[in-house]
Amino acid sequence: MAAIAIFGFLLYANTLGHDYVLDDFSQIKENFITQRGIKGIPEQFAHHARYGYGRDVGELYRPLTMTIFSLEWEIAPDKPAFAHFINVLLYALSGALLFFVLAKIMAGYNVLLPLLTTLFFVAHPVHSEVVANIKSLDEILMFGLCLLAIHFLWNYLKQDSLGWLAASLLCYLAALFSKENAVTFLAIFPLTLFFFTKTKWQKIAVLTSAYAVLALIFVLVRKAVIGGMGTPGGISVLDNFLAGATDAGVKSASAFLMLGKYLLVLLFPIQLVSDLGYNQEPLAGWGDWRVLLSFLAWAALGVFALLRFTKKDLWSYGILFFLINFSIFTNLIIMIGTNYGERLLYSASPGFALALALLLLKIFKGNQTEKITDGSRLFQNKALWGTAALILLFYSFKTITRNADWKTSFSLYEADIGKAPNSAKLNFHYGLELTKKGLDATDPAEKQRWAALGQQHFEKAIAIYPQYHDAYGQLGLCYYRAKNPEKALENYNLALKYRPDFAVVYSNMGIIFFEAGDLPKARELYEKAVSLNPNLVDPLRNLGAVNAMQKNFSEAIKYFKMAYELAPTDPVINRYLGSAYRDAGQAEQGKPYLDRAEQLEKKAK
């Protein structure tokens, strides 16, 4: 077990110096609740995961994972290296735990099966997104807790002690509050009991119902906090291109098109990519050979597993483990917020790894039920281990090299844009990173070059999806920075045309009128932004500035304090708030904020 954990840790050791990427910003780096550390933990249970990012509504309720992010921030604020270390460590431990649990439930089988299964699982490069992206701790945590639940359940069955059952149920409840797809283990628990124990079906049903009660409790808590299981406001076609399908046949065919890609990346993890969104893969019909091939492959897996089910064949268990765990992400049962994500294969992939181990054992004449008690005999099948070593070597190479792409948002999008050049979202986010390069550049020519490249990708994103409000909003910023307020307002208005409640755009428009000296119009736009989203720092700060300029210091203090609550470590907000108190004749109340602003500015230097 220790060797497996070390192997897993070494595979991802090159991520320890990585930065925040993708959803790390919305859940950690720019989330004001996470940044409150321990003090923010109660709020993590009272809101959706991106509430602290300035979003009033959201569909992700993962308070236990968010609690860990809060603790990480408390221990090492704004230090991604520490968070990456926790991800890698827990992944390594999960690998060791997987072997421990598989060896326990498969005690009647050749130990090579749990060993090879675990090694293939740990090394498979499709997991690079889960480990290298801090946010995906939710996957690692959920899966590890479900493994612990199985472990304690086994102890209960062996010792008939309710304490072990209570521990199992507690782990499963924690898994649900880590990530919602733990619900699929409601089927994995009875499946595992059926295949590897002689427990009567009546007892299996009773035990499963206990886990089901916990799942119901989670659903009710989630509903009370953030609403139903769907996505508030519906799913954007940019996130899941299936949302654009008006015909049920096209929708199901397109879902199978993507399901084929999942199988392909498991079998041949050569080209890994973070996004295959609209319109990299246009909607497809049932006349598309790729759809038919995917359907036949998935159907064959299901039929084969069912035919071997009553025989308690390990092939059946591996396939069903995979199908059940992945079922929630197929977009066939429910539509989720994405049409493709390699992270979604994580908890299902042990089923694939088991099938691969079974295949090698079959090819090289290994005996599934042979008991190997002598360690010297463990590696005696040289042909089997030679082949396994080649697979592991390839997996490890791809994992380590793919990890490098996840170092920063820029390196990730630069690596992936060539793999999915027609993804509107990928173009948009690559444009953001190129624009940031321009803002950080000191040479005027370099600034202009990066800005032009960023603008090109925003325009391409719009060409792919003409209603892309975020891209119009960024184009507006490009023109504003280029000292072209007319074109900036033109693009801001297009952004509002496609998203009338776009609070950030109202705030950015307010800046243009503020700088033009039209304070009433600027105030109107800032107030509109705050009314749409009271968790945005910029319009609150700017409303404070407008009021301060008009000598309305009580209102200025009110808005600066609201901004301070959201960003207490922002030196500008501290200085503005302190100055407003001072100018209002309350210098003593303002002094702590001015002193803190000075300290924060020195620290930033």
What are the backbone angles phi and psi of residue 593, rounded to the nearest 5°?
A: -70, -40
598: domain CATH number is 1.25.40.10
Q: Are residues 346 and 435 in the same domain?
A: no
Q: Residue 140 to residues 276, 454, 508, 589: CA-CA distances in angstroms? A: 23, 34, 38, 46
Residue type, 250: V
**pLDDT digits over 175-222, tens only?**
999 999 999 999 999 999 999 999 999 999 999 999 999 999 999 999
* Distance separating alpha carbons of residues 379 and 344, to the nearest angstrom: 33
Question: What value does the mean pLDDT take over residues 368-397?
Answer: 83
- What tokens were used for 288? 């598309």
- Show Cβ contacts of residue 353 under 8 Å, excluding neighbours closer than 6 positions: 116, 117, 118, 120, 121, 124
What's the pLDDT band for 371 if we cut at 50, 70, 90?
confident
Q: Are residues 497 and 389 in the same domain?
A: no
Q: Are residues 192 and 299 in the same domain?
A: yes
For the chain, what is the mean pLDDT?
Answer: 92
Is residue 324 in a domain? yes
For the chain, what is the domain count? 2
Q: Are residues 420 and 455 in the same domain?
A: yes
Residue of 326, 330, 319 lying closest to 256 (CA atoms) = 330
**pLDDT digits over 157-184, tens only?**
999 889 999 999 999 999 999 999 999 9
Question: Among 388, 404, 420, which residue terminates a domain?
Answer: 404
Q: Are residues 215 and 268 in the same domain?
A: yes
**DSSP3 helix / strand / coil % (the chain, rounded to 5):** 75, 0, 25
What are the backbone angles phi and psi of residue 368, rounded to the nearest 5°?
A: -60, -35
Is residue 590 in a domain? yes
Q: Return the number of other C-beta atoms located less than 10 Å from residue 166's C-beta.
A: 13
Q: Are 275 and 420 in contact (CB under 8 A)?
A: yes
Instruction: Provide the pLDDT for residue 229.
Output: 57
Q: Are 278 and 464 in contact (CB under 8 A)?
A: yes
Indicate whether 233 pLDDT > 70: no
- What tokens were used for 38? 């321990």
Q: Are residues 418 and 399 in the same domain?
A: no
Indicate whether 595 pLDDT > 90: no
- Show Cβ contacts of residue 329 under 8 Å, excluding neighbours closer than 6 positions: 181, 336, 341, 344
Q: Are 399 and 123 in contact (CB under 8 A)?
A: yes
Q: Residue 64 to residues 68, 72, 138, 346: CA-CA distances in angstroms? A: 6, 12, 8, 19
Identify the top-confidence range among 370-374, 377-381, 470-474, 554-558.
470-474
Instruction: Provide the pLDDT for residue 230.
Output: 55
**pLDDT digits over 473-525, tens only?**
999 999 999 999 999 999 999 999 999 999 999 999 999 999 999 999 999 99
Give the domain extent around 552: 411-604
* Distance separating alpha carbons of residues 497 and 491, to the nearest angstrom: 10
Question: Among 387, 404, 421, which residue terminates a domain?
Answer: 404
Residue type, 370: E
DSSP label at residue 116: H
Helix axes of 289-307 and 314-326: crossing angle, nearest 10 degrees: 130
Q: Are 48 and 58 in contact (CB under 8 A)?
A: yes
- What tokens were used for 90? 């827990």
Three-state SS for 224-268 is: HHHCCCCCCCCCCCCCCHHHHCCCHHHHHHHHHHHHHHHHHHHHC
Percent of the chain with pLDDT over 90: 75
Is residue 372 in a domain? no
**pLDDT digits over 548-582, tens only?**
888 888 888 898 899 888 888 889 899 898 888 89
Q: Are residues 156 and 259 in the same domain?
A: yes
- Show Cβ contacts of residue 186 under 8 Å, excluding neighbours closer than 6 positions: 208, 211, 212, 215
- Show Cβ contacts of residue 229 under 8 Å, excluding neighbours closer than 6 positions: 180, 219, 222, 223, 334
* Distance separating alpha carbons of residues 93 and 99, to the nearest angstrom: 10
Indicate whether 76 pLDDT > 60: yes
Helices (H), 314-371: 314-326, 349-363
**pLDDT digits over 428-486, tens only?**
999 999 999 998 888 888 989 999 999 999 999 999 999 999 999 999 999 999 999 99
What's the pLDDT band for 59 if we cut at 50, 70, 90?
confident
Q: Are residues 426 and 292 in the same domain?
A: no
Q: Residue 40 to residues 70, 72, 372, 419, 569: CA-CA distances in angstroms? A: 7, 12, 51, 39, 15
HSE, CB side, 13 Å, CA atoms: give it for residue 586: 12
Q: Are residues 592 and 561 in the same domain?
A: yes
Q: Residue 98 to residues 90, 92, 139, 150, 195: CA-CA distances in angstroms? A: 12, 10, 14, 10, 17
**pLDDT digits over 304-339, tens only?**
999 999 999 999 999 999 999 999 999 999 998 899
Q: Are residues 444 and 339 in the same domain?
A: no
Is the model more confident about 284 or about 110?
284
Residue of 52, 164, 47, 151 lying closest to 97 (CA atoms) = 151
Residue of 202, 189, 200, 195 lying closest to 309 (CA atoms) = 195
* CA quadruple 406, 410, 413, 418: dihedral sign: negative
Q: Are residues 477 and 519 in the same domain?
A: yes
Rg (CA), the chain: 27
Is residue 371 in a domain? no
The residue assigned the tokens 């409640």 is 501
Q: Are residues 466 and 439 in the same domain?
A: yes
* CA quadruple 23, 29, 34, 37: dihedral sign: positive
Indicate whether 7 pLDDT > 60: yes
The per-residue b/e assignment along 314-326, b for 16 or more CB within 10 angstroms, e otherwise, is bbbbbbbbbbbbb
